Amino acid sequence: MKRSVYNSLIEWKLNKRRKPLILNGARQVGKTYVLQEFAKQEFSKYVYVSLDRNEEAKKILESEASVQSIILTLSALTGIDITPNETLIIIDEIQESPKALNVLKFFCEDAPEYPIVVAGSLLGISLHEQVSFPVGKVDMIKMYPMSFNEFIEALGKQKIADCLRTNNWEVIPLLRDELIDLLRQYYYVGGMPAVVQSFVNGDGPQAIRHLQEQILFDYTRDFSKHAPTNQVPRINMVWNSIPSQLAKENKKFIYGVLKKGARANNFEMAIQWLIDAGLVYKINRVTKIASPLKFYEDFSSFKLFTLDTGLMGAMVGASAEVMLTSNDIFKEYKGAFTELFVCNSLICNNIQPFYYSSDDAHTEVDFVIQGTKSVFPIEVKSEENTRSKSLKAIIDKNPQLTALRLSMKGKDEQQWMTNLPLYAFIEEIKKL
């Protein structure tokens, strides 16, 4: 399956100032697969070691051995001669040996001719304290679940994906019904590669849901394995509360939903753990829709989103029949799936969203993003009902701004606002 991160890997390979690479991402987003495909296609040969299954490799990487000794050991363990600029070294499951990260510093300084990539979930990379991190000595790429466009490509609908990628607004309206059906499927399947592959293979809804539940189980098992013991119950409470928090009309995260009398200082570490693990995205409030948005960021008010629509569906036991055959999915949970879809689409395209609410809470906008020359308030509508009182009120007060509305209606440019269909918005936003 094609992954857009592949292009970033090629850019890294061709960079004359290339450093050792860390490929970051949550568990099971496809890091191992894409690295092995990259190695097969772009290098003469490669060595692959996984630190959860290779104790000898772990020992040599944790030692103070020279780069040449490490290379010789890895060659011996894999039976492959490692030659400069021709052999890609892949160290997988780096979270099993965070001390091994320091080796990258020596590859950068002493042996830049040996391309090396380490991969692993953020569970090990961001959270281990008192471990030396090679600051300034590595390149980093983040990887996310498959986007809607990648999902369409995986289904073999390349021409449709091309139309979305090139913003072909002559053809996109003609594909509306099929795109809505694909979006409905994406809400149910999500972007976890193993789940998408199962769907591509023709597996039914129950098999899809079983895979999603297994991924969720693996995540909760990681909580116990990698998180501080005293934080595990709180991490579980935060993680399990996110769907219900998103289902509220006001999606601001409320600590009291977790436990009566709960306060921020009780759960801040648990939330940060989930963020660092790549499982949760935190979207902070801004107190003013003005550039630069960072000036007006309110860290005390935020929303939390999970990394994947399919996994959230599994968390809440959403009906396969409703999600795959009925347009009701676009209004279920007060648009929670739709807002999650938009959030994930922005983040995987390196667009940092915020949200806005007035101090009196009478006016709220789902997202606000920073463009090249301006900021853009975004309202998300899960259906064709596109009344936008809050959005219009904001533009009336700030006529220099242009608003965006994402809904099931087609593209519609008005003087104060542009409506974009949910199934074809991201390329337009990337141009702002």
For residue 97, the model assigns a pLDDT of 82
Length of the chain: 432
User: How would DSSP label each residue in 132-156?
Assistant: ---TTS-EEEE--SPPHHHHHHHTT
Higher pLDDT among residues 134 and 43, named by residue: 43
* Per-residue model confidence (pLDDT) at position 126: 53
The mean of the pLDDT values for the chain is 91
Contact 45, 76 (CB under 8 A): no
Instruction: Give which of 170, 107, 159, 165 is closest to 134, Cα–Cα.
Output: 107
**What is the band of 132 on the pLDDT scale with cuts at 50, 70, 90?**
low
Instruction: Write down the pLDDT at residue 125.
Output: 53
What is the structure's pLDDT at 370? 95
Tokens of 123: 């569970």
Output the pLDDT for position 129.
54
pLDDT at 343 over 90: yes
The 10s digit of each residue's pLDDT in 394-429 is: 998 888 998 999 999 999 998 889 999 999 999 999
Q: Is 349 helix (H, G, I), strand (E, B) or coil?
A: coil
Q: How far apart are CA 224 and CA 227, in angstroms?
A: 6
Confidence of residue 382 (pLDDT cuts 50, 70, 90): confident
Average pLDDT over residues 355-366: 86
Through-space distance between the first and last CA atoms of the chain, rounded to whole angstroms: 29
Residue 72 has pLDDT above 50, yes or no: yes
Q: Which pLDDT does position 385 carry in this prediction? A: 65
99 contacts 62 by C-beta, under 8 angstroms = yes
Query: What's the gap between Cα 420 and its chain centre?
Result: 22
Task: Lowest mean pLDDT of 120-129, 144-153, 169-178, 419-428, name the range.
Answer: 120-129
Tokens read off for 73: 């050991």
CATH 3.30.540.10 fits 5-142, yes or no: no
Distances (CA, A) of 233 to 34, 173, 213, 273, 424: 34, 48, 19, 12, 40
**Domains in the chain: boundaries:** 5-142, 148-430
CB neighbours of 193 closer than 8 A, spacing ≥ 6?
1, 28, 29, 30, 33, 145, 146
Q: What is the mean pLDDT of residues 196-203?
A: 97
C-beta separation of 89 from 117 below 8 A: yes
pLDDT digits (tens, 9 = 90+) for 290-323: 999 999 999 999 999 999 999 999 999 988 877 7
% of the chain residues with pLDDT over 70: 94
Among 11-20, 230-239, 319-328, 331-340, the range scoring the smallest mean pLDDT is 319-328
Confidence of residue 102 (pLDDT cuts 50, 70, 90): confident
pLDDT at 127 over 50: no
Taking Cα atoms as reference points, which of 243, 244, 5, 35 lies closest to residue 145?
A: 5
Over residues 233-274, the pLDDT tens digits come to 999 999 999 999 988 877 899 998 888 888 888 899 999 999
- Averaged pLDDT, 338-362: 92
**Residue, of 324 and 130, whose pLDDT is higher:** 324
Cβ atoms < 10 Å from Cβ of 68: 11
Confidence category of residue 328, pLDDT binned at 50, 70, 90: low
- State how far the Cα of 201 lies from the Cα of 324, in Å rounded to an integer: 17
CB 384 within 8 A of CB 408: yes
